[in-house]
Amino acid sequence: MAADLQARIADRLNERRANSLYRQRPLLGTAQGPEVIVDGQPLLAFCNNDYLGLANHPDVIAAWRSGAERWGVGGGASHLVIGHSAPHHALEEALADLTRRPRALLFSTGYMANLAAVTALVGQGDSVLEDRLNHASLLDAGLLSGARFSRYLHNDPASLASRLEKAPPDGASLVVTDGVFSMDGDVAELPALAQVTKARNAWLMVDDAHGFGVLGPQGGGVVEHFGLGLDDVPVLVGTLGKAFGTAGAFVAGSEALIDYLVQFARPYIYTTSQPPALACATLKSVELARHEGWRREHLAALVRQFRTGAEALGLGLMPSDTPIQPIVIGDSGRAMAWSRRLRGQGLLVTAIRPPTVPAGSARLRVTLSAAHTEAQVARLLDGLAACQALPELGNE
């Protein structure tokens, strides 16, 4: 007898609720920024990825408006039909220049960019090797590619080398890692990973969604941070909805790689292009990110302030020098309780639970922005101290 889908849906939803894993969408009533209104409540937010404070920048908004007046509000078709406009092309050139690569290719989302790159490059008979803590989009892309799928120990070049040795010699091998890991905030050991990968004639692909704009002298990300080149990291993916404050993503690489993706990457071929006005806005945000280095300097100072204060409180920080500063709580119910107590103090900090993070490592994911002030970070630390002073928080 066929399974009852309605009963399955109800059972799985009830299971999520019982295990403190049920997800709900907060309703944002303002533009992105440190001070927001969520579900009707004024809050000081420490949970978005607008690392450089550009999502509501007046110059970026003005670029969007002027772009919409000239180019309209829709892409109209895929890039290969009639959807590739002059702003799209100019943005690709700017991203290629930022990454010091011959070409870049725009996508509507980071998930699509990762899916496109992995599934176009490897398939049956090949191997894809991924860090155990990679973003879900990278893991899904590896599984959907049809290639032999393997996960090496987190940020462990020796584990990667061991798994590469077992890859079939007659197929291509693609190694995939995040640049900055989105839930832990640590940075990939790219120089060592690149050395291991090149020694075995494999390619390294880096998704630097959380590194672009933040790391590197000009915000070029983790590859610029380590001084690596195209030979070290042939496939570089970045998103535009985090430090750059807009939306979309890109793949940057050689002329041959981008030509290949245009021909064979299904998520690129069969998707309407992003609005040209969005590309106009992103061009401005990329310019601001590159040339306003004070944003990265201020952000780094806030990270140091937070870590110093959190360590003084004895909070369970992870080894991260990036704007992602997780506080490990462990139990999902306790993590939710901490988040609710903070919200009661006017502070918005999201609790991250399995399956997004490994079982037993539920956490408060604090994210900092160049738009925050030192006084606001001090307020967050005071709120955490107040939570810590209360009796043991259970599953309230």
**What is the per-residue pLDDT for 289?**
96
- Say if residue 89's pLDDT is above 70: yes
Give the tens place of pLDDT for each residue, 265-284.
999 999 999 999 999 999 99
DSSP 215-273: SSTTS--HHHHHT--TTT-SEEEEESSSTT-S--EEEEE-HHHHHHHHHH-HHHHTSBP
Structural fold of domain 58-291: Aspartate Aminotransferase; domain 2 (3.40.640)
> Could you report the per-residue pLDDT of 213-258, keeping only the tens digit for each?
999 999 999 999 999 999 999 999 999 999 999 999 999 999 999 9
182 tagged catalytic = yes
pLDDT for res 391:
65
- pTM, entire model: 0.93
pLDDT at 316: 87
Average pLDDT for the chain: 95
Choose, from 88, 135, 210, 284, the residue flagged as catalytic: 210
Tokens in use for 69?
């007046």
* Given 57, 225, 242, 298, the catalytic residue: 242
pLDDT band for position 396 (cuts 50, 70, 90): very low
Do 22-52+293-389 and 58-291 have matching folds?
no
Give the SS3 label for residue 39: coil
Check whether 329 has a pLDDT greater than 80.
yes
Q: Which of 182, 332, 339, 369 is catalytic?
A: 182
Q: Give catalytic status of residue 210 as yes or no.
A: yes
- d(Cα 275, Cα 71) in Å, to the nearest integer? 8
Each domain of the chain, given as residue ranges in start order, spans 22-52+293-389, 58-291
* Catalytic residue flag (residue 198): no
- The model's pLDDT over 183-222, given as tens digits with 9 standing for 90+, comes to 999 999 999 999 999 999 999 999 999 999 999 999 999 9
What is the per-residue pLDDT for 394? 46
Q: Which residue has the higher pLDDT, 356 or 306?
A: 306
Rounded to the nearest angstrom, the gap between the alpha carbon of residue 80 and the centroid of all alpha carbons in its chain is 27
* The CATH homologous superfamily of the domain defined by 22-52+293-389: Aspartate Aminotransferase, domain 1 (3.90.1150.10)
Residue 62 in this model has a pLDDT that exceeds 60: yes
Q: Give me the mean pLDDT over the 337-352 stretch.
A: 94
Q: What is the pLDDT of residue 2?
A: 61
Q: For the residues 86-109, what does the mean pLDDT come to? A: 98
pLDDT confidence band for 20 (50 / 70 / 90):
confident
Instruction: State the pLDDT at residue 19.
Output: 86
- Token pair, residue 357, equals 């993070």
Asked whether the predicted pLDDT for residue 1 surpasses 80, the reply is no
